[in-house]
Amino acid sequence: MGIAVTTAVATLSLSVKDKVARELRSFGANISVTPASDSLSIAVGGVDYRPAGAGTFLHEASLVNLKKIFWRNNIMAFAPFLYAPATVNGHRIVVIGSWFKHALKVNPGDVFATGLEKLHPAWKVQGNWPGEDSSECLVGVALANDLGIKRGDSLTFHSTGDSTSTMALKVSGILRTGGEEDSEALAPLAAVQQFAGLQGKVRRVEVSALTKPEDAFGRSDITKLNPTDYERWYCSPYVSSIAYQIQQAIPGAEAKPVYRVAATEGKIVNNIGLLMTLLAIAALATAALAMASMMFATVLERRAEIGLFKSLGATNARVASIFLLEAFAVGLAGGVVGYGLGSWLASRLSLAVFGVSIGIHWVILPIVLTLALLVTLAGSVIPLRKGLNVSPATVLRNE
């Protein structure tokens, strides 16, 4: 039973921990990419309120490089943002241009699906997400309530800058995020770029990356690392190392981890790992105690056999080897049965709790068998020491 619980915990840790980390990506982006030379404040409350032409920009065409870094497979989703001040129905707002459902061609035959719908799965849309090349938009719930906007309404946005450009869009849905976007309108990036006269440019990029919790080494100053440590840091999926690679991949960009999100995710994942470890330790300790109890009973029952062996000249090591061989056979059988039972238990728990079925991890089998033998040894040491200390003459006389 101890090995079964340990196997179940290890299987869940391998299979579900990664799923939990992916589910935590619904918190939103954990890396923000902005122009390195833009010294002005980027945003207030997450939304850029500067004139459309102010500051510097990133090139939309360079965003494909995000899927060409070393940790490209850890990039779960990303979306660019461009902000354009506008008026609609006499009300001054900021129109946010972005990708909603974007198919990014990375290489011939390799297309990466990304956009806001994938980047922010927790956002609620009453209606439909706009099409990538459509003349549709989303309106934040607060703005919709203020202006009486409903699904299906047609809105005309007027530029507040020097230009007199306009943009006519149909409201495909009402957006609720709990953030500043609730007071803004979101439109396809290409439409906002044309509206602001900034074709091919974006203000910033939000990136959602699957990372490992940062430890002291992950927070190291890379300028002080030797080549070996630098390579180790670079090849570890810390949020800081992935941000560093993004900064190298996109010309003129500065990538910064959103530590509030990354730290929260890391704390949750670490706590789950700690809970799994404590459960496994408790299960193995219980198994060792059960093994000790069984071995005490065996030694007491076979005291006469021990005395006979020792009277015939058998050493303590020879006598102990007989009992340990039997114990190891029991431990090995318990390990095999426990592995099968634990794998089944992990599959049922994963399906019931997380809604995901997991398979058998054969890599765990040699580990749990080794643990089973170690638990057997740990539970047998004290009973054997007490059993081997008996006097052959005393035991045989009593018999």
Tens-place pLDDT, residues 223-277: 899 999 999 999 998 889 999 999 999 988 999 888 666 566 667 667 777 777 8
Same domain, 48 and 72: yes
Q: What is the pLDDT of residue 52?
A: 47
Distance CA 179, CA 173 (A): 17
Q: What is the pLDDT of residues 92-130, one digit of tens each?
A: 999 999 999 999 999 888 899 999 999 888 899 999 999
Q: Are residues 55 and 141 in the same domain?
A: yes
Domain edge (last residue) among 238, 257, 276? 257
Same domain for 141 and 276: no
| Claim to verify: residue 192 and residue 289 sit in the same structural domain | no
Alpha-carbon Rg of the chain, whole angstroms?
32
More confident residue, 72 or 363: 72
pLDDT at site 141: 94
The percent of the chain in helix, strand and coil, each rounded to the nearest 5, is: 50, 20, 25
Evaluate if pTM is beyond 0.75. Answer: no
Closest CA to 11 of 354, 374, 375, 379: 354
Domain that holds residue 306: 266-398
- Work out the average pLDDT over 68-84: 92
Mean per-residue pLDDT for 343-363? 78
In a domain, 221, yes or no: yes
Residue where a domain stops, chosen among 206, 240, 257: 257
Q: How many structural domains comprise the chain?
A: 2
| Together in a domain, 287 and 331 | yes
* Domain boundary pick from 257, 288, 317: 257
Q: Which one has a higher pLDDT value, 341 or 360? A: 341
- Give one DSSP letter per residue of 190-244, joined into a string: HHHHHHHT-TTEESEEEEEE--PPP-TTTT--GGG--HHHHHHHHTS--HHHHHH
| pLDDT (mean) for 322-351 | 87
What's the mean pLDDT in 53-73? 87
What single string gives the DSSP state of each residue in 43-67? Answer: -BTTB--S-TTSS--EEGGGGGGGG
| pLDDT over 70 at 79, yes or no | yes
* 162 lies in the same domain as 234: yes
pLDDT given at position 26: 59
Is there a domain that residue 20 lies in? no
Domain co-membership, 168 together with 39: yes
Amino acid at the residue 146:
D
In a domain, 137, yes or no: yes
Are 253 and 270 members of one domain? no
Please give the C-alpha separations between residue 359 and each of 334, 343, 350, 351, 362, in angstroms, as whole numbers.
21, 8, 10, 11, 9
Supply the pLDDT for residue 70: 93
Going by pLDDT thresholds of 50, 70 and 90, the confidence category of residue 22 is low
Q: Is residue 13 part of a domain?
A: no
The β-bridge relationship of strands 136-140 and 166-176 is parallel
The mean pLDDT value of the chain amounts to: 84
